[in-house]
Amino acid sequence: MIKLDKSLHAFGTSNFEKILQKELEQLNSDQLPLQQGLSTSSYALSDSLKVMILNTSDETDYIRVKAGLFYSGIIAGCSCADDPTPIDENSEYCEIQIDINKNTAEAVISLLEQ
């Protein structure tokens, strides 16, 4: 389970978006739907992940955030010695929804269809 304690404690302050961005950028790539959000690549890379907060709403039991993820992907070849596929990085973008439980700081992250 993903916990965003720092973001929950910062909610309602001017630093909330910055803290949430930092916490999301520090998550392991398997905790974000990067692979599912690919549009031009076949394998997601998380080393250049950048997060942009699009909007935030204060619900009864949770904080709902819509965010855009900027990252890179590659078109993976067959990994053969004579594979002619160049390993060029492609820019990728997807949007996610994050629901942060106000009591536990547990977050559910889901990919939004575009």
Class of the 2-75+88-112 domain? alpha beta
Q: What is the pLDDT of residues 40-93, one digit of tens each?
A: 988 899 888 999 999 999 999 999 999 999 999 988 765 666 666 667 889 999
Q: What residue spans define the domains of the chain?
A: 2-75+88-112
User: What is the distance of C-alpha 77 from the center of its chain?
Assistant: 25
User: Using alpha carbons only, what angle is made at residue 74 by residues 70 and 77, rounded to the nearest 5 degrees?
Assistant: 165
- Assess whether pLDDT exceeds 90 at residue 18: yes
pLDDT averaged over every residue in the chain = 92
Percentage, residues of the chain above pLDDT 70: 91
The whole-model pTM stands at 0.88
Pairwise pLDDT comparison (88 vs 9), residue with the higher score: 9
What pLDDT, on a 0 to 100 scale, did the predictor assign at position 88?
A: 80
Buried b / exposed e along 30-67 (16+ C-beta atoms within 10 A)? eebbbbebbeebeebbbeebebebeebeeeeebbebeb
What pLDDT, on a 0 to 100 scale, did the predictor assign at position 114?
A: 73
SS3 content of the chain, % helix, strand, coil (to 5): 15, 45, 40
Tokens encoding 54: 């699009």
